[in-house]
C-alpha cells in the first residue's frame, strides 16, 4: 500500500492515477487546503479503482497515526505542501509551518510505524541558477525565497535522517516545470484565484477567464528576451515517480534526481506552441520583470536517465494540447467558480 500525501492536488492526483493504473494499492491523505474532493472522484472514475481518502492535515498527528494503523503502508509519496513563491514571501511562517513541520511530522510517524521508504517532491528552485548551464544534481544550491528554503531545509533534514538511521530509502525528486494534464482531460491543474504559473494563466486567457497574459520581461539575455524554462509533461513527471518507487526496492540510501526534459523553451515559445495546439491566439502584453525570476533554468536529465532508467517523452506540443483539453473540458476546473 502506497500513501500519497497531497493526492488531491495537481501532481499527486496524476501520480495516483499512474499508481492505480499500474496495479498499486493506494491511500490518499490531503487537507484539501488547495484542492477539491472532486479530483478524488475523478481519479476513481478514470481508473475504475477504489481507495480510501482521508481529509487530514499532516499536522494532525493522531489522525495521521490512525491512518498508518489502519493501512499496511509500505512507502510514502509525499506531495503535500504549499507551493506559491509569492505567497511564501508574504506568509513565510505559514510555509515553514506547513511544509517543514508537516514533513517532520510525517517522518516521525513513519519512523514510529517502521515505514522507511519515501519519495519527496522537491523543486528546481533549490538551485542557485547562474548563467546558461544545464543544472546537475550536484550544482550549487541556494534558494532565494521562503518556499524554496522550505524545500532545501527538508532535503537537508532527510539527509540527516538517513545518516541517523541508514535503513531509510529516500528519493528526492527535483521537478522543473510540470505542465499539461492527463490525456483524458478529466484531471488537471486547478489553481485557486489568479494563477501564478505561466501555463494555467495561458489556458485561462484562452478560455476567456482572463483578458490578457502578462509576459514578465523581454529584456533578458536570451534569444527572444524572455525567460527560459524546462517544461515537462505531467504524465512524464509521474512516470518518473513510479521509477523512483522501483528504485526504492533496491538497497537503503538517499538519492536526488532531477525530473526535467533537459530542453529549455522561452515564455514566447510556449505562447506560440499553445496557439498552434489550440488554434487560439493568446493576447499578451510585456510588463516588468517579476522579482526573483532567473533568466534560464533547465535540467541535466542524465542522472535520471542512467540511474532511474527514465526520460521524458512528450514534447511541448503535446503538453499544450493536453493542458488545453483539460481547460476546455473544465472551464472552471473542478467546478467551483473562482475569480
Ligand atoms: P497542489 O497545491 O496542487 O497540491 C498540493 C496538495 O497538498 C494540495 O492538494 C493541498 O491541499 C495539499 N496540502 C498542502 N498542505 C497540506 C498539509 N499540511 N496536509 C495535507 N495536505 C496538504 O501542488 P502540486 O503542484 O501538486 O505540487 C505537489 C508538490 O510538488 C508540492 O510539494 C510542491 O511544492 C512540489 N512542486 C510542485 C511544482 C509545480 O510546478 N507544480 C514544482 C516543483 C515542486
Ligand atoms: N511568466 C509570465 N507570466 C505569467 C506567469 C509566468 O511571463 O503570468 C513567466 C515567468 O516570468 C517565468 C516563466 O513564465 O519566466 C515560468 O513561470 P512559472 O511561474 O510558471 O514557473 P517558475 O517561475 O517556477 O519557473
The C-alpha cell of 31 is what? 487537507
In the reported structure, the alpha carbon of residue 211 is separated from the centroid of ligand 2 by a whole-number distance in angstroms of 17
In contact, 303 and 136? CB cutoff 8 Å: yes
Burial of 3 (0-12, 13-18, 19+ CB in 10 A): buried
Q: Please report the pLDDT score of residue 131 as a whole number.
A: 80
The C-alpha cell of 210 is what? 482572463
Q: Please report the pLDDT score of residue 292 as a whole number.
A: 84
Round to whole Å and give the CA distance between 313 and 331: 27
Q: Please report the pLDDT score of residue 291 as a whole number.
A: 87
Round to whole Å and give the CA distance between 115 and 112: 8
Torsion angle of the four alpha carbons 237, 238, 241, 245, in this order, in degrees rounded to the nearest 10: -160
Which of 42, 199, 110 shows the shortest CA–CA distance to 7? Answer: 42
Mutate to test the pocket of ligand 1, among 3, 7, 8, 9 (most ligand atoms within 8 A of CB): 9
Residue 273 CB contacts under 8 Å (≥ 6 apart), including other chains: 265, 316, 317, 320
pLDDT tens digits along 203-234: 999 999 999 999 999 999 999 999 999 999 99
In contact, 222 and 268? CB cutoff 8 Å: no
List the chain residues with pLDDT less than 70: 336-339
Does the active-site annotation cover 147?
yes
pLDDT tens digits along 73-93: 999 999 999 999 989 999 999
Cell 518507487 found at: 245
Q: Please report the pLDDT score of residue 338 as a whole number.
A: 46
Q: Please report the pLDDT score of residue 63 as a whole number.
A: 98
pLDDT tens digits along 297-319: 999 999 999 999 999 999 999 99
Dihedral (CA of 68, 71, 74, 80) sign: negative
Length of the chain: 339
Q: Assign a CATH topology to domain 2-329.
A: Rossmann fold (3.40.50)
At 118, is the secondary structure helix, strand, or coil? strand
Q: Please report the pLDDT score of residue 339 as a whole number.
A: 41
**pTM for this prediction:** 0.97
Which of 174, 170, 147 shows the shortest CA–CA distance to 157? Answer: 170
Residue 203 CB contacts under 8 Å (≥ 6 apart), including other chains: 274, 323, 324, 326, 327
Residue spans of the domains in the chain: they are: 2-329
DSSP strand pairing (265-266 vs 228-229): antiparallel
In contact, 35 and 42? CB cutoff 8 Å: no
In the reported structure, the alpha carbon of residue 87 is separated from the centroid of ligand 2 by a whole-number distance in angstroms of 15
In the reported structure, the alpha carbon of residue 311 is separated from the centroid of ligand 2 by a whole-number distance in angstroms of 24
Ligand 2 atom closest to the Cα of residue 201 is 8
In contact, 231 and 200? CB cutoff 8 Å: no
Round to whole Å and give the CA distance between 328 and 180: 13
Instruction: Give nearest CA residue, ligand 2 atom 7.
Output: 215
* Number of neighbours of residue 101 by Cβ within 10 angstroms: 13
The C-alpha cell of 177 is what? 516545470
198 lines ligand 2 (CB under 6 A): yes
Backbone torsions φ then ψ of 72, nearest 5 degrees: -90, 80
In the reported structure, the alpha carbon of residue 294 is separated from the centroid of ligand 2 by a whole-number distance in angstroms of 10
Amino acid at each position: 500500500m502506497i500513501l500519497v500525501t497531497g493526492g488531491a492536488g495537481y501532481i499527486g492526483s496524476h501520480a495516483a492515477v499512474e499508481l492505480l493504473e499500474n496495479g498499486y494499492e493506494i491511500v490518499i491523505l490531503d487537507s484539501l487546503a488547495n484542492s477539491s474532493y472532486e479530483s478524488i472522484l475523478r481519479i476513481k472514475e478514470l481508473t475504475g479503482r477504489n481507495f480510501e481518502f482521508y481529509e487530514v492535515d499532516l499536522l494532525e498527528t493522531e489522525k495521521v497515526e490512525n491512518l498508518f494503523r489502519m493501512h499496511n503502508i509500505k512507502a510514502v509519496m509525499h506531495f503535500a505542501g504549499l507551493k506559491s513563491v509569492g505567497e511564501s514571501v508574504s506568509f513565510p511562517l505559514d510555509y515553514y509551518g506547513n511544509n517543514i513541520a508537516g514533513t517532520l511530522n510525517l517522518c516521525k510517524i513513519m519512523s514510529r510505524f517502521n515505514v522507511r521508504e519515501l519519495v519527496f517532491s522537491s523543486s528546481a528552485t533549490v538551485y542557485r541558477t547562474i548563467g546558461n548551464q544545464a543544472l546537475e544534481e550536484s550544482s550549487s544550491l541556494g534558494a532565494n525565497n521562503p518556499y524554496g528554503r522550505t524545500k532545501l531545509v527538508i532535503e537537508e533534514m532527510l539527509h540527516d535522517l538517513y545518516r541517523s538511521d541508514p535503513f531509510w530509502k529516500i528519493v528526492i525528486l527535483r521537478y522543473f516545470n510540470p505542465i499539461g494534464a492527463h490525456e483524458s482531460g478529466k484531471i488537471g491543474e486547478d489553481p485557486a484565484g489568479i494563477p501564478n504559473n505561466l501555463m494555467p494563466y495561458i489556458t485561462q486567457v484562452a478560455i476567456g477567464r482572463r483578458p490578457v497574459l502578462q509576459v514578465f520581461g523581454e529584456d533578458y539575455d536570451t534569444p527572444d528576451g524572455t525567460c527560459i524554462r524546462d517544461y515537462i509533461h505531467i504524465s512524464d513527471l509521474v512516470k518518473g515517480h513510479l521509477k523512483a518507487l522501483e528504485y526504492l526496492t533496491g538497497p537503503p540510501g538517499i538519492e536526488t534526481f532531477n525530473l526535467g526534459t533537459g530542453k529549455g523553451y522561452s515564455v514566447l515559445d510556449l505562447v506560440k506552441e499553445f496557439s498552434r495546439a489550440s488554434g487560439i491566439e493568446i493576447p499578451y502584453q510585456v510588463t516588468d520583470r517579476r522579482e526573483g525570476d532567473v533568466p534560464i533554468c533547465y535540467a541535466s536529465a542524465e542522472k535520471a536517465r542512467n540511474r532511474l532508467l527514465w526520460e521524458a517523452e512528450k514534447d511541448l506540443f503535446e503538453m499544450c494540447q493536453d493542458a488545453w483539453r483539460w481547460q476546455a473540458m473544465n472551464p472552471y476546473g473542478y467546478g467551483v467558480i473562482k475569480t
